Amino acid sequence: MNSYFLRSILCSALCLLGTMLISQDDSNQQDIDAKFIKDIHNQILTNGECYDWLTDFTTNVGARLAGSIGSEKAVVFMESKMKTIGFDSVWTQECKVNYWERGEKEEVYMTSPNTQRLNALSLGNMIGTDGKVLEAEIIEVKGLDEVEALGTEKVKGKIVFYNRPMDPTKIRTFNAYGGAVDQRVYGASAAAAYGAVAVLVRSMTTRQDDVPHTGTSIYKEGVKQIPAISISTNDANLLSKTLVQGKVSVSIKNNSKPMGEKTSHSVIGEIRGSEFPHEIILVGGHLDSWDVGAGAHDDGAGCVHSLQVIRTMLELGYKPKRTIRCVMFQNEENGLAGGREYARLSDEKGEFHLAALESDAGGFVPRGFSFDGHADVLKPFYKHVSQWLPLLESYGLQFSTGGSGADIGPLKSQKGLLIGLRPDSQRYFDYHHTDIDRIDAVNKRELELGAAAMTSLIYLIDKYGLE
């Protein structure tokens, strides 16, 4: 046996031993990670505080449209809560928001062929009738293109009734929402351009009920501003059915109006990283809600999810390598001022967000995460993160690429990973932007599972980073 052959055998043996040691080390790390993720879930499911925080927040603060008194109370509440939890530092960040007031309760009636009150809510940013009664014949359309096809001759002097439902065949209801919401956002100006005096819009939900949904609308510059009001799905069905039989008139009385710019604040807290403090991992939700209900799912749930992430790490004695920052963004619903200003100041300071995770899809049972980012980095980031999926699949979690969150979107230029928590979406639009989005719509265990899922992913990103 020659020396070359001996060296070959020795080299092969050493390589095999090294592979075995590496494999054993990987296995040990997986066991450690699996145990810690189990500890995270056990801690939150037995001693989690997020549901109690959400109960307090929605009961004692309630509705909190950006710029309102409720919004100011929300800032104080969250700043105090962060200081109690034990963040290394807590601060507020100023932003300018467009404030809007609903005014007195809307009065909307079908006046012919029979008189019947309709369940209605003025749409955000829209003007009202100055408390005067506006009455006109209505015409039904399914979309903006139909208004254009009808033209001035048939639209002028009428109330345009947008009645395109969310598509019930879409399993992911956010896709159904995206396919219908243009009529709510842009419908007023599209109709006003052809002489309409007001618009009614079918509520953005797949559920058939008497609950109207509000939401933001946008006027097109240079087009006359007219009132825009949402009606419940049951009332939309009633109007549509009655129109088949003949002409229908509706009267509207409301006094909503834009109130100009006001100063508001986002709330921020962080735990400083021990090894890579300049790599920031963000968790957050948006602090504001619409002015009806209490914003329990949208987005009180996301706020308390994010607080629970930090609280759980502290309770389990985990010392993050990277800076974990919790951000309660202001004004997501009505302009995104908080998210834009946060990103602007972060860029100005030369910060780098390695990852940002937003919870803004409700407090329902978590189904996984969706990942987004700059084209240069999304693919390698997603490939790296996907290796952790076996640790999370047993908790019912899956990964996908797609959107993340509106508030963290402006951070995309920093080339970090943007992540959205994806709870089950089937009931989200039952409550979205309504008076019934209150604490009794939130299941305690489902809320806690969302917080545990977020904490688990943040732990893995912090421990291993992103290649």
- pLDDT for 48-94, tens place per residue? 999 999 999 999 999 999 999 999 999 999 999 999 999 999 999 99
* pLDDT above 70: percentage of residues in the chain: 95
Kindly calculate the radius of gyration of the chain based on its CA atoms and give it in whole angstroms: 26
- Could you give the angle at the alpha carbon of 405 between the alpha carbons of 64 and 86, nearest 5°? 65
CA–CA distance, 464 with 349 (Å, rounded to integer) = 25
Q: pLDDT tens digits for 29-47? A: 889 999 999 999 999 999 9
pLDDT of residue 14: 44
CB-CB neighbours of 345 under 10 Å: 13
Burial of 288 (0-12, 13-18, 19+ CB in 10 A): buried
pLDDT of residue 24: 62
* Torsion sign across C-alpha atoms 42, 45, 49, 50: positive
- What number of CA atoms fall less than 13 Å from residue 34's CA on the CB side? 11
Question: Which amino acid, residue 406?
Answer: A
User: Domains in the chain, ordered, with CATH?
Assistant: 36-98+260-464 (3.40.630.10), 106-258 (3.50.30.30)
pLDDT of residue 169: 97
Instruction: Give me the mean pLDDT over the 390-413 stretch.
Output: 96
Is the CB of residue 177 less than 8 Å from the CB of residue 204?
yes
- Could you give the angle at the alpha carbon of 330 between the alpha carbons of 258 and 326, nearest 5°? 175
Instruction: Give me the mean pLDDT over the 402-430 stretch.
Output: 97
The two beta strands, 276-286 and 322-329, are parallel
CB-CB neighbours of 433 under 10 Å: 28
Is the CB of residue 330 less than 8 Å from the CB of residue 96?
no
Closest residue by Cα to residue 162 from 136, 189, 144: 144
Burial of 463 (0-12, 13-18, 19+ CB in 10 A): middle
The two beta strands, 198-202 and 276-286, are unpaired
What are 185's two structure tokens? Answer: 């956002």
Helix (H, G, I), strand (E, B) or coil at 208: coil
The pLDDT-based confidence of 13 (bands split at 50, 70, 90) is very low
pLDDT of residue 467: 77
Is residue 22 over pLDDT 60? no
pLDDT of residue 10: 47
CA–CA distance, 341 with 440 (Å, rounded to integer) = 33
Mean of all residue pLDDT scores within the chain: 94
pTM, whole model, 2 decimals?
0.92
CB-CB neighbours of 244 under 10 Å: 8
The pLDDT-based confidence of 17 (bands split at 50, 70, 90) is very low
pLDDT of residue 27: 77
pLDDT of residue 146: 98
What are 401's two structure tokens? Answer: 């690429």
Phi, psi of 243, rounded to the nearest 5 degrees: -65, -25
